[in-house]
């Protein structure tokens, strides 16, 4: 015999209570003799033995009642081999139920997850008397509502029946490892593992490793497959902003990717795009998608006001509705400020790098620039110390020989907090200063600057940019011939760029944005802190190339700025189940705040706190750690799309 709640057996100690009461009731008391008691005394003496026996029986009944109550609450289980089905003894099992989002697929009848619950109930009902089981729910993470085998099969049946469906993908290997580890701690009886899943291929990537884990000499494994084939399953597999940036009142392009996971061609797939849960603002149709293939469609949306918005792409519902739409958060801008630091002081203003950059970033007449959403300010390197870098989304160094070390230190904190840095070399650039300080001391640069190659205006040795095969988002639009070409400009002089090796906790891997036609890097980038650094190998003006005279110069500058803004906005979209982190205004530290999930009215009040100092976070001075408010918390499932968090002072 075993007990489901053995700790409650200690309740038997309560039998001490009636014994103590009995003892106190029988203690000696002072006797007062009076005349009428002599008749009562004679009666008591005649019946004393019978009364003592009755008291003793009453005491035993009270004690037995308390013992039975404790045993009942401890829930005894009687298991004998004779009571089990013929040929089967009790077993110790682990039941793993797949609750990934693909289990929500249905073809009009019971869904896969409902079938999985029914299968789990049948497994539990078929267990011999005296068996125990654990219940695990798994996707790409494992949740254990019953982590260790329990004899309470009714509880296991209820947990399986009430199991929730998640919005996550599948990882079978993780749950198998946890199940085998659990069973290794419970060697009594036969050990069995039941895996109930729809068998999605992405969950079985390490198939050989999974087979080795299942081939156990002590554990008998059973795979239960539920649901049929995905005859009709289309998915909005990706949604991203394709324009350089999203600005108020301007049409922004979004690329919607639809994947056909079905077994037959998907035809006339209608795709709709909406902003902030309003009526669709654009729609289109993909004529045909082959099984296992994906196709993109460009749709456009506008934002009426600056700030954060949601953009949703949606297709008609199919058997698996969880992946029929995808939502992202987008920041619409009406004021992007760029600081241009130029070393071209004096001389012809039309040859100043700042002239070309300012006109490329704000391609409107001077009289209208005040109302244009990108606004530039030009300063000299000596003025950099007096500028508050936090007022600008990006800083551009164009033909700057060097900068004060205090300004370099400020750039460190600026990039850490999410700023962007764009560097254009030129005739005045001191490559030794850049390599030793921005590259060596601070590790900003994605590449080491080498010697200057070529001669100004010498067409014979000029290089051109690669003509096709653009992978980086900055230049990806030129994969479409209708967008023009990058390869028509001549680069007479350029600084040789040698990519730095690897990455650190602060700096990401260097990436080549685009190459010259000889294979050498022309533009490189790397993330640094929460910011991004983009390094060009040639000048921003016509001193070393004729790129500013070509139509592609304007979108190239705008998309470079857009890449920096992308880095700043990466924190807006977080996968379900991940932890979000928001860097707040330092003035908010110590204030109360309220976080509201988009689409519901539930609010969670929290108190902002200063972040713990971390060595890699610097502010102005290298030896002084930054202080900034942070909010961290789990993103709860709410559909396959990520949630949006809105923050305001309470």
Q: Same structural domain for residues 38 and 176?
A: no
CATH of the domain at 547: 3.40.50.880
In the predicted model, is pLDDT for residue 450 greater than 60? yes
- Helix, strand or coil for residue 587? helix
With cut-offs at 50, 70 and 90, classify the pLDDT of residue 5. Answer: low
Tokens read off for 530: 């929460």
Q: Same structural domain for residues 313 and 363?
A: no
Tokens read off for 315: 């297709």
The CA distance from 289 to 284, in Å, is 14
Domain-terminating residue out of 198, 225, 252: 225
What average pLDDT does the segment 438-462 reach?
Answer: 92
With cut-offs at 50, 70 and 90, classify the pLDDT of residue 642. Answer: very low
Q: Same structural domain for residues 9 and 89?
A: no
Q: Which residues contact 521 (CB under 8 A, 6 or more apart)?
A: 447, 497, 499, 512, 515, 537
With cut-offs at 50, 70 and 90, classify the pLDDT of residue 4. Answer: low
The CA distance from 566 to 531, in Å, is 10
Q: Is 125 exposed, middle or buried (0-12, 13-18, 19+ CB in 10 A)?
A: exposed
Q: Same structural domain for residues 191 and 291?
A: no
What average pLDDT does the segment 292-305 reach?
Answer: 93
Tens-digit pLDDT profile for residues 159-194 = 999 999 988 888 999 999 999 999 988 876 789 999
Tens-digit pLDDT profile for residues 533-563 = 999 999 999 999 999 999 999 999 999 999 9
Tens-digit pLDDT profile for residues 145-158 = 999 999 999 999 99
Q: Which residue is it, tokens 């992308």?
A: 566
Q: What is the pTM of this model?
A: 0.67
Q: Same structural domain for residues 70 and 87?
A: no
Q: Same structural domain for residues 149 and 266?
A: no
**287-294 long-range contacts, Cβ below 8 Å, gap at least 24?**
289/234, 289/258, 289/259, 289/260, 289/265, 290/260, 290/265, 291/260, 291/261, 291/262, 291/263, 291/264, 291/265, 292/259, 292/260, 292/261, 293/259, 293/260, 294/237, 294/257, 294/258, 294/259, 294/260
What average pLDDT does the segment 210-232 reach?
Answer: 82
- Out of 288-297, 465-474, 557-566, 614-623, which region has the weakest mean confidence (pLDDT)? 614-623
Q: Which residues contact 292 (CB under 8 A, 6 or more apart)?
A: 259, 260, 261
Q: Same structural domain for residues 401 and 464?
A: yes
Give residue 255's domain range: 234-332
In the predicted model, is pLDDT for residue 91 greater than 80? yes
With cut-offs at 50, 70 and 90, classify the pLDDT of residue 640. Answer: very low
Q: Tell me whether strands 579-583 and 190-197 are parallel, antiparallel or unpaired.
A: unpaired
In terms of Cα–Cα distance, which of 308, 259, 254, 257 is closest to 282?
254
Q: Same structural domain for residues 277 and 370?
A: no
Q: According to the 3-state scheme, what is the secondary structure of 203-259?
A: HHCCHHHHHHHHCCCCEEEEEEECCCCCCCCEEEEEEEECCCCCECCCCEEEEEEEE
Q: How many CA atoms lie within 13 A of 495 on its CB side?
A: 28
Q: Same structural domain for residues 414 and 429?
A: yes
Domain-terminating residue out of 267, 299, 332: 332
Q: What is the pLDDT of residue 355?
A: 94
The CA distance from 628 to 611, in Å, is 6
- Out of 3-7, 361-365, 419-423, which region has the weakest mean confidence (pLDDT)? 3-7
Supply the mean pLDDT for the chain. Answer: 82
Partners of 313 in the β-ladder: 273, 326
The CA distance from 326 to 273, in Å, is 10
Q: What is the pLDDT of residue 349?
A: 78
Q: Which residues contact 336 (CB under 8 A, 6 or more apart)?
A: 245, 247, 373, 374, 375, 393, 561, 565
Q: In Å, how far are 18, 397, 541, 553, 637 from 550, measured between CA atoms? A: 101, 22, 12, 6, 48
Q: What is the pLDDT of residue 89?
A: 67
Report which secondary-structure segment, H or E, holds 301. strand 294-301
The DSSP-derived string for 175-208 is HHHHHHHHHHT--SSEEEEEEEE---GGGGSSHH
C-alpha distance across the termini of the chain, in Å = 59
Tens-digit pLDDT profile for residues 466-525 = 999 999 999 999 998 888 999 999 999 999 999 998 767 778 899 999 999 999 999 999
In terms of Cα–Cα distance, which of 86, 197, 213 is closest to 139?
197
Q: Domains in the chain: how many in total? A: 5
Q: Is 354 exposed, middle or buried (0-12, 13-18, 19+ CB in 10 A)?
A: buried
- Out of 32-41, 253-262, 337-346, 398-407, which region has the weakest mean confidence (pLDDT)? 32-41
In the predicted model, is pLDDT for residue 604 greater than 80? no
Q: Same structural domain for residues 214 and 272?
A: no
Angle at 532 between CA 625 and CA 400, to 5 degrees: 95
Q: Same structural domain for residues 138 and 256?
A: no
Task: Decide: 322 and 104 in contact? Cβ < 8 Å.
Answer: yes
- Out of 6-20, 67-81, 88-102, 225-239, which region has the weakest mean confidence (pLDDT)? 67-81
Q: What is the pLDDT of residue 207?
A: 87
Tens-digit pLDDT profile for residues 350-389 = 789 999 999 999 999 988 988 899 999 999 999 999 999 9
With cut-offs at 50, 70 and 90, classify the pLDDT of residue 68. Answer: confident
In terms of Cα–Cα distance, which of 292, 319, 280 is closest to 105?
319
In the predicted model, is pLDDT for residue 43 greater than 80? no
Q: In Å, how far are 293, 422, 445, 573 from 442, measured between CA atoms? A: 44, 15, 8, 29
What average pLDDT does the segment 431-450 reach?
Answer: 94
Q: Same structural domain for residues 411 and 544?
A: yes
Q: Which residue is it, tokens 């700790």?
A: 7
Q: Which residues contact 162 (CB under 8 A, 6 or more apart)?
A: none
DSSP letter at 519?
S
- Helix, strand or coil for residue 599? coil
With cut-offs at 50, 70 and 90, classify the pLDDT of residue 51. Answer: confident
In the predicted model, is pLDDT for residue 228 greater than 90? no
Domain-terminating residue out of 77, 104, 122: 77
In the predicted model, is pLDDT for residue 632 greater than 50? no
The CA distance from 363 to 342, in Å, is 19
Max avg pLDDT among 115-129, 185-199, 209-223: 115-129
What average pLDDT does the segment 228-255 reach?
Answer: 87
In the predicted model, is pLDDT for residue 610 greater than 50? no
- Out of 3-17, 436-450, 530-544, which region has the weakest mean confidence (pLDDT)? 3-17
CATH of the domain at 328: 2.60.40.10
Q: Which residue is it, tokens 């040789």?
A: 496
In the predicted model, is pLDDT for residue 648 greater than 50? no
Angle at 602 between CA 596 and CA 606, to 5 degrees: 60
């Amino acid at each position: 015999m075993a007990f489901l709640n053995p700790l409650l057996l200690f309740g038997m100690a309560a039998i001490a209570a009636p014994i103590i009461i009995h003892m106190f009731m029988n203690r000696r008391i002072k006797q007062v003799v009076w005349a009428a008691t002599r008749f009562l005394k004679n009666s008591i003496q005649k019946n004393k033995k019978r009364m003592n026996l009755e008291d003793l029986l009453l005491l035993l009944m009270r004690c037995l009642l308390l013992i039975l109550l404790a045993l009942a609450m401890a829930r005894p289980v009687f298991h004998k081999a004779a009571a089990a089905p013929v040929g089967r003894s009790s077993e110790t099992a682990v039941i793993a139920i797949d609750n990934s989002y693909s289990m929500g697929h249905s073809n009009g009848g019971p869904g896969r997850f409902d079938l999985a619950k029914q299968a789990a109930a049948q497994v539990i009902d078929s267990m011999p008397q005296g068996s125990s089981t654990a219940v695990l729910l798994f996707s790409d993470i494992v949740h254990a509502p019953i982590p260790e085998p329990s004899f309470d099969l009714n509880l296991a049946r209820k947990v399986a029946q009430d199991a929730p469906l998640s919005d996550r993908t599948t990882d079978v290997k993780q749950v198998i490892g946890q199940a085998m580890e659990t069973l290794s701690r419970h060697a009594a009886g036969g050990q069995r593992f039941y895996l109930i899943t729809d068998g999605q291929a992405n969950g079985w990537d390490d198939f050989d490793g999974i087979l080795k884990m299942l081939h156990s000499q002590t554990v008998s494994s059973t795979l239960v497959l539920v649901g049929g084939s995905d005859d009709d399953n289309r998915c909005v597999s990706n949604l991203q902003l394709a324009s350089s940036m999203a600005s108020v009142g301007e049409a922004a392009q979004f690329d919607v990717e639809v994947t056909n996971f079905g077994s037959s061609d998907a035809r006339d797939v209608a795709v709709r795009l909406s902003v902030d849960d309003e009526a669709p603002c654009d729609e289109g149709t993909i004529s045909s998608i082959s099984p296992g293939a994906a196709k993109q469609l460009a749709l456009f949306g506008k934002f009426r006001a600056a700030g954060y918005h949601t953009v949703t792409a949606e297709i008609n519902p199919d058997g698996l509705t969880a992946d029929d739409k995808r939502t992202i958060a987008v920041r619409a801008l009406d004021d992007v400020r760029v600081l241009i630091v130029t070393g071209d002081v004096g001389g012809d203003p039309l040859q100043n790098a700042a002239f070309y950059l300012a006109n490329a970033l704000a391609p409107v007449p001077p009289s209208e620039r005040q109302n244009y959403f990108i606004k530039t300010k030009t300063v000299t390197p000596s003025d950099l110390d007096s500028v508050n870098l936090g007022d600008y989304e990006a800083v551009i160094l164009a033909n700057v020989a060097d900068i004060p070390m205090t300004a370099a230190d400020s750039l460190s904190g600026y990039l850490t907090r999410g700023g962007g840095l764009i560097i254009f070399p030129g005739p005045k650039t001191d490559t030794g200063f850049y390599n030793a300080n921005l590259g060596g001391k601070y590790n900003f640069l994605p590449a080491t600057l080498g010697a200057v190659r070529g001669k100004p205006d010498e067409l014979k040795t000029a290089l051109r940019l690669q003509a096709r095969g653009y992978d980086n988002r900055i230049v990806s639009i030129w994969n479409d011939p209708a967008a023009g070409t990058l390869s028509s400009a001549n680069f007479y002089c350029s600084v040789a760029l040698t990519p730095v090796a690897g990455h650190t906790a602060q700096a990401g891997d260097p990436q080549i944005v685009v190459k010259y036609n000889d294979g050498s890097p022309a533009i490189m980038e790397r993330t640094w802190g929460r910011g991004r650094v983009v390094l060009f190998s040639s000048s921003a003006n016509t001193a070393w190339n004729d790129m500013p005279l070509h139509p592609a110069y304007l979108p190239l500058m705008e998309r470079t700025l857009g890449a920096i803004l992308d880095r700043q906005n990466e924190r807006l979209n977080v996968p379900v189940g991940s932890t979000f982190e928001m860097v707040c205004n330092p003035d908010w530290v110590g204030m109360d705040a309220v976080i509201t999930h988009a689409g519901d009215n539930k609010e969670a009040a929290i108190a902002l706190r200063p972040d713990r100092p971390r060595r890699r976070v610097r502010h102005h001075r290298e030896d002084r750690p930054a202080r900034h408010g942070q909010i961290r918390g789990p993103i709860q499932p709410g559909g396959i799309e990520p949630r949006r968090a809105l923050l305001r002072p309470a």
